[in-house]
Amino acid sequence: MKSLWSDQDARTAEARLPNSLGPLVAQRLYTAHLIGSDASLVLHGGGNVSVKASGKNFLGEELEAIYVKASGTDLSHLSSEGLTSLDLQRLRKMRQIESLTDDQLRDAYSLCCLNANAATPSIETLLHAFLQHRFVDHSHADAVLTLTNQLDGHALIKEALGDSVGIIEYIRPGLSLATAVANLCDSQPDLVGVVLMKHGLVTFGPDAQSSYEAHIDIVDRCETFIRQRTKGKSLSVNFTCEQKPDDIVAKIAPTVRGLLSTKSDKIDQLFVRPILEWRHAPEIMQFVNSDRAKVLASASPLTGDHVIRTKSRALFCDVRDWSDIPAAITTITQAIETFRSDYKKYVQEYSPDVVQEDGYPKVMLLPGVGVLCWGDTKLSAGIAADIAEQTLRVKTYASLMGSYEGLTDEHLADMEFRTLQRRKLSDAPRRTLAGQVVAISGGAGAIGVATARCCLEAGAHVALADLNQEALDRAVKHLLAMQREGRVLAVRMDVTDEQSVCDGYAEIVRTFGGVDVIVPNAGVAHVAPIESLDVQQFRRVMDINATGYLTFMQAGIRILKQQGLGGNIIINASKNVFGPGKDFGAYSASKAAGHQLGKVAAIELAPLGIRVNMINADAVFGDQETPSGLWQEVGPQRAKLRDMRSEDLPEYYRSKNLLGAKVTGEHVGRTVVFFASNATPTTGATLPIDGGVVEAFPR
Ligand SMILES: [Zn+2]
């Protein structure tokens, strides 16, 4: 590892910050970004940094302050708002206190903050405050953990780093750890850093550069030491299989997702469903296929900081034959059940007062497949996956050097359930479609995009399936502008081709783990009187609108059944089903067929808790950004028939309905959200979204 310090960049960072904050804060942010941008040093809100400088209290009095990273903030994007300023002398007086509960510590931090609305400072604030140095950096560097998490970790650290670096045996973060580190540094003022066993590294210095470079130097020495010790060694792979991991994941993920889902206490959400992040880089495959995978996977994590994201253990599913999927599923089911009961025992033993959210694994390792990580959202599953990848890497090197040894269950439970750690997790209320995956065919069209937008706003993960790649790219770009959390997937799909539909769903499953809401919506139209209706054109419309609804539904139903979590099918039918118009025979017949398929599906699928409902919308024209492809196709002819200009059609349709309402894709989207929310026990129903058209009233 090499220092990335650059005088010029440091000066640029200084120039960017307002003068009122001063150069010390600017330097602090600059090296925080250098540390935060290296995943082998910190991950997702891990690690923390501080600087001591002058500050002002609410009376405007100047005092000695410490600016420390706020809890859970990412170092790579740290801004001055992400630094919480506290009264340094008040914090230092806490060194006289013997012990503090988490609640007392949190209250004490609040009372020391210089700003009443400041973000909660890092759990390790006292460690920073008690040290005399102006700059302090703390990371959970891979190389340091590789050495500390060993049976003979202490001796290895000594050998690798010598006497210039202090060592502290594991102590939970908080007052005791801060006092221990400060006492050590006071007694040995020449130390350049302190290694916290099974936790990480602390360095310090009079300026940002010296503290940062001491950090990098120590990590570099650890890396060199590890390289020398593991030269020529690698994990021996003892598992191979002929089945492709892509195919296996597509086959098993929905069943696993069903097993990991729990009943929701909210009546309309029915289940709390996790979202998948699957990782299968060569390094991961080598680990899961190795002879040490089982032992290492079930060993405890690298540092207590990770357990709120990954739980205290990963689950290794010892499947040795992927040619027999039902047998593999049985093995996985049993493994999950065992995990669940072990987890229950672990909580009862070490944190009996904790209300358990669920007892299921967040990280699963499978030979031949890789790592399946699960979270409330794609984002949280991704965080668990990043940590899992780092864990496998460190455990690999640790095991090649000797014997991996992590924290005890007692220490892990302490970190997993302590309130100051739990606060890092979002406690925002679950939105209506949180955890649900919505698949929309014709997803790149006007109604598709508007529906996706509504579902995203309701917290769903959304897969847009469409034949038109260009329109898909445009749609995704548009949706990414409203969220960047990985909740949108574009899938190229031809609904007239069963294989293409199956492949598309397989991609959705590999990305999100399954599907919960199916919205058949892809459609085309053709204008011609029945007498002269071209049979080829009729077949094309039927093929896309009717058969396409069938293919999109049936492939989705198979996944819903596998999950066993019920689900919703919401068919975008048409006002034409009840109120057809002349020259629109092909379209009306195809939509009536789709509508009827929905009714039959409602009867067939009710025993599985799958609801099927229909939306009869009229005249959805889209907007400039996403115009309606259907209206672009048929608009000119419909206008000609009525002796008007195409651009006057929206106004014509608006004036025709009872409410005089303009119907938009968003109206359809809101209806999808309504049905998918299970707010009412409704199936087999048709809801018109047409402003009121008497001849199309459902009957
Ligand atoms: Zn830490």
- Render pLDDT for 171-186 as a digit per residue (tens, 0 to 9): 988 899 999 999 999 9
Ligand 1 centroid to residue 287 C-alpha, Å? 26
Ligand 1 centroid to residue 153 C-alpha, Å? 18
**Is there a common fold for 7-230 and 245-422?**
yes
Ligand 1 centroid to residue 89 C-alpha, Å? 23
pLDDT value, residue 630: 67
Ligand 1 centroid to residue 229 C-alpha, Å? 26
pLDDT value, residue 543: 97
Ligand 1 centroid to residue 191 C-alpha, Å? 19
Residue with tokens 């997790």: 425
Q: What is the per-residue pLDDT across 328-358, written as a single tens digit (0 to 9) for each?
A: 999 999 999 999 998 888 888 887 777 666 7
Ligand 1 centroid to residue 489 C-alpha, Å? 35
Ligand 1 centroid to residue 302 C-alpha, Å? 11
| Whether pLDDT at 282 is above 90 | yes
Ligand 1 centroid to residue 237 C-alpha, Å? 33
Ligand 1 centroid to residue 139 C-alpha, Å? 6
Model confidence at 244, pLDDT cuts 50, 70, 90, reads: very high
Ligand 1 centroid to residue 31 C-alpha, Å? 17
Ligand 1 centroid to residue 425 C-alpha, Å? 16
Q: Kindly tell me the sign of the dihedral angle through the C-alpha atoms of 200, 384, 407, 415.
A: positive
Ligand 1 centroid to residue 221 C-alpha, Å? 20
- Strand extents, DSSP E, 520-655: 567-572, 610-617
Phi, psi angle pair for 597, to nearest 5°: -60, -40
Ligand 1 centroid to residue 19 C-alpha, Å? 31
Ligand 1 centroid to residue 28 C-alpha, Å? 18
Q: What is the mean pLDDT of residues 629-653?
A: 74
Q: What is the per-residue pLDDT across 116-141, written as a single tens digit (0 to 9) for each?
A: 888 889 889 999 999 999 999 999 99
Contacting residues for 241 by C-beta, under 8 A, at least 6 apart: 321, 322, 323, 367, 368
Q: Note the Cα 506 to chain centre separation in Å.
A: 19
Ligand 1 centroid to residue 376 C-alpha, Å? 24
Contacting residues for 611 by C-beta, under 8 A, at least 6 apart: 566, 567, 568, 569, 602, 605, 675, 678, 682, 683
Question: What Å distances lie between residue 153 and 16, 145, 344, CA to CA?
Answer: 43, 9, 30
Ligand 1 centroid to residue 199 C-alpha, Å? 6
Gap between the Cα atoms of 519 and 115, Å rounded: 49
Ligand 1 centroid to residue 339 C-alpha, Å? 27
Q: What is the mean pLDDT of residues 192-204?
A: 96
Model confidence at 170, pLDDT cuts 50, 70, 90, reads: very high
| Whether pLDDT at 19 is above 70 | no
| Whether pLDDT at 427 is above 70 | no
**Ion ligand 1, residue ranges at CB < 5 A:** 200
Ligand 1 centroid to residue 306 C-alpha, Å? 10
Query: Which CATH class, in words, describes the domain spanning 7-230?
Result: alpha beta
Q: Which residues of 499-527 are buried (b: 16+ CB within 10 A; e: fewer)?
A: ebbbbbbbbbbbbbbbbbbbbbbbbbbbb
Ligand 1 centroid to residue 119 C-alpha, Å? 18
Would you state the structure tokens that stand for residue 667, as one six-digit string?
A: 């109206």
Ligand 1 centroid to residue 50 C-alpha, Å? 13
| Whether pLDDT at 445 is above 70 | yes
State the alpha helices, DSSP H only, in 196-299.
208-230, 245-260, 282-288, 293-298
Ligand 1 centroid to residue 371 C-alpha, Å? 25
Question: What Å distances lie between residue 387 and 49, 87, 303, 363, CA to CA?
Answer: 20, 34, 10, 10
Q: What is the per-residue pLDDT across 32-88, written as a single tens digit (0 to 9) for each?
A: 999 999 999 988 878 999 999 988 888 888 899 999 999 878 899 898 888 999 999
Burial class of residue 355 in the structure, from the number of CB atoms within 10 Å of its CB (0-12 exposed, 13-18 middle, 19+ buried): exposed
Q: What is the per-residue pLDDT across 478-493, written as a single tens digit (0 to 9) for each?
A: 898 877 789 999 999 9
Q: Which helix (H) or strand (E) holds 587?
A: helix 585-605
Gap between the Cα atoms of 678 and 599, Å rounded: 17
State the alpha helices, DSSP H only, in 431-468.
446-457
Amino acid 145 reads: L
Q: Which residue has the higher pLDDT, 298 or 388?
A: 388
State the alpha helices, DSSP H only, in 459-584.
469-480, 498-512, 535-541, 548-563
> Taking the CA atoms of the chain, what radius of gyration do you get in angstroms?
30
If you ran DSSP here, which 8-state letter would residue 206 be given?
Answer: S
Ligand 1 centroid to residue 488 C-alpha, Å? 33
Ligand 1 centroid to residue 143 C-alpha, Å? 15
Q: Which residue has the higher pLDDT, 109 or 308?
A: 109
Ligand 1 centroid to residue 183 C-alpha, Å? 18
Ligand 1 centroid to residue 200 C-alpha, Å? 6
Ligand 1 centroid to residue 295 C-alpha, Å? 25
**209 φ/ψ sector (left φ>0, alpha ψ -120 to 50, else beta):** alpha
Model confidence at 377, pLDDT cuts 50, 70, 90, reads: very high
Q: By C-alpha distance, which of 81, 93, 71, 90 is closest to 117?
A: 81
pLDDT value, residue 620: 74
Ligand 1 centroid to residue 45 C-alpha, Å? 10
Ligand 1 centroid to residue 303 C-alpha, Å? 8
Ligand 1 centroid to residue 109 C-alpha, Å? 17
Ligand 1 centroid to residue 361 C-alpha, Å? 23
Model confidence at 426, pLDDT cuts 50, 70, 90, reads: low
| pTM, 2 dp | 0.91
Ligand 1 centroid to residue 358 C-alpha, Å? 26
Ligand 1 centroid to residue 158 C-alpha, Å? 20
Ligand 1 centroid to residue 124 C-alpha, Å? 7
Strand partners, 543: none
pLDDT-above-90 percentage for the chain: 65
pLDDT value, residue 453: 94
Ligand 1 centroid to residue 42 C-alpha, Å? 9
Ligand 1 centroid to residue 393 C-alpha, Å? 19
Q: Kindly tell me the sign of the dihedral angle through the C-alpha atoms of 170, 173, 174, 179.
A: positive
Ligand 1 centroid to residue 305 C-alpha, Å? 6
pLDDT value, residue 646: 75
Would you state the structure tokens that stand for residue 68, as one six-digit string?
A: 């420390």
Ligand 1 centroid to residue 190 C-alpha, Å? 23
Amino acid 211 reads: S
Ligand 1 centroid to residue 136 C-alpha, Å? 12
Ligand 1 centroid to residue 373 C-alpha, Å? 23
Ligand 1 centroid to residue 166 C-alpha, Å? 16
pLDDT value, residue 103: 86
End-to-end CA distance of the chain: 72
Ligand 1 centroid to residue 449 C-alpha, Å? 43
Ligand 1 centroid to residue 198 C-alpha, Å? 10
Q: Note whether 444 and 472 are within 8 A (CB).
A: yes
Topology (CATH level 3) of domain 437-688: Rossmann fold (3.40.50)
Residue with tokens 């991950």: 43
Task: For the chain, give the mean pLDDT.
Answer: 90
Ligand 1 centroid to residue 531 C-alpha, Å? 77
All structural domains of the chain with their residue ranges: 7-230, 245-422, 437-688
Query: Which CATH class, in words, describes the domain spanning 245-422?
Result: alpha beta
Gap between the Cα atoms of 108 and 93, Å rounded: 11
